[in-house]
Every structure is written in C-alpha cells, then in structure tokens.
Amino acid sequence: MQNKTTLLFDFDGTIADSLYRLLEISNTLAEEYGFSKLDKEDIARFRSKSTLEAFKELKVPLLKIPIIASRVKREFQKEVHLIKPFAQMEKVLPLLGQLFRLGILTSNTPSNVECFLKTNQLPFFDFIYSSSNIFGKSRVLRKIMREKQFRPEELVYIGDEMRDIEAAKNLGIDMVAVSWGAHTAKALASLKPSYLIHQPDELLTLFAD
C-alpha cells in the first residue's frame, strides 16, 4: 500500500488471544446484571452476529453496558499477564515496526494493554488509545487523527470485528479485517473491508513485500 506511514491495531482478538477469557469473565457477571450466558458451543453462531445483535440476543441491558464493560476490564486486569499473542504475531510485529509507526486503538484499558505488551516483550508500539464506549471507536479514531495529525490516506486500521470496519469506513481509512478473532470471515466480508486476511503473517505480504 502506497503512502502508508502508520498501522493502527485493535487489541483483543487481533493481537491478543484474549476473547475466550473475556467471555468467561462476562459469564460470571451474567446473573448479577440479568443477561444470558454465552456457552462455548454457541460461539461459532455468535461470530456471525454484530456486537449489537449479540447483545440483544443475550438480553444484555444496553444502559448497563458501560458498567459491565468496566467490570470485565477490571477483572481482566488480574490475569492479563497470562494472556498470549496470537501465533506469528511475535514475528510479524517487529518486522512491521521497522517499516511503519505502530499504534493500538482498543476498548480495553491502556494499563491492561501495557501489561500485556511488557509481559510478552512487544515494545513496538508508539501509542495506545482507549475507547471507554464499546461503540465509540469512530470518535477515538477521529481524535487520534487530530492529535497525531494523520491524514486518512496515511493510516491503516487492523481489527477483528464488524464495528472496526464501520469505524474505519466512517473516516475513509483503509481497513484490514482479520478472521482469527471475534467475527467470521463471512461476516467481515459482508461489510467489504479493504482487505481480509486469515493468518497474521499475511500482514507481511500486504506491507513488507
């Protein structure tokens, strides 16, 4: 891709293999907040649904989502040092870091991300931005562009969810959707990302060849 200077990564489900643990934590809160648990047997079916569709089917009270998300992130903090990156990421990130500025935009907390990066010896990221609103990535993406003075054509956003594609499209940014995280390749393809890949080392084919 020509004229690209910065690769902006989502965290959970893109770099960090953390989704199953986040699901387990969420399930422990289900009874307290009045929503349904998601069994592992149902995960394949839910990977085809948008985040909002999944919340509605599980009867997650939308007004309580910020509180629930905050609780999940606090519990996750206790064991983030145990979370590992997806296979190949430890090889891919240092090579990309030699060619591009790397950043992270996440719905997780910066402290959780920083702990993960330190534990797994991944010191390749120049900045971390967090969206406290699970549906607020477009707003934070716009903030990153303003504060870092990035033009849309300089950026690529890399993520595993349908809402990542929507956020990038809202701002005219190229998007690489990855199929090893929250949503299936078919669900991601339905929103027509700029690129759709299935293994982390395909990032090197896109950006390093």
Measured in whole angstroms, how far is the alpha carbon of residue 174 from the centre of its chain? 15
The answer to whether residues 48 and 80 touch, using CB atoms and an 8 Å cutoff, is no
Alpha-carbon gap, residue 199 to 209, rounded angstroms = 16
Per-residue pLDDT reduced to its tens digit, 146-179: 999 999 999 999 999 999 999 999 999 999 999 9
H or E element that contains 178: strand 174-178
Domain boundaries of the chain, sorted by first residue = 6-17+84-207, 19-81
The residue type of 173 is I
Alpha-carbon gap, residue 95 to 90, rounded angstroms = 9
Tell me what the mean pLDDT of segment 88-99 comes to: 96
- The pLDDT score that the predictor gives to residue 40 is 79
Within 8 A by CB and 6+ apart from 140, the residues are 105, 129, 130, 131
- The pLDDT score that the predictor gives to residue 136 is 79
Task: Considering the domain delimited by 6-17+84-207, tell me its CATH architecture.
Answer: 3-Layer(aba) Sandwich (3.40)
In the three-class reduction of DSSP (H, G, I as helix; E, B as strand; rest coil), residue 87 is classed as coil
- pLDDT band of 50, cuts 50, 70, 90: confident
Alpha-carbon gap, residue 5 to 153, rounded angstroms = 9
The reported pTM is 0.93
Phi, psi of 176 (to 5 degrees): -105, 115
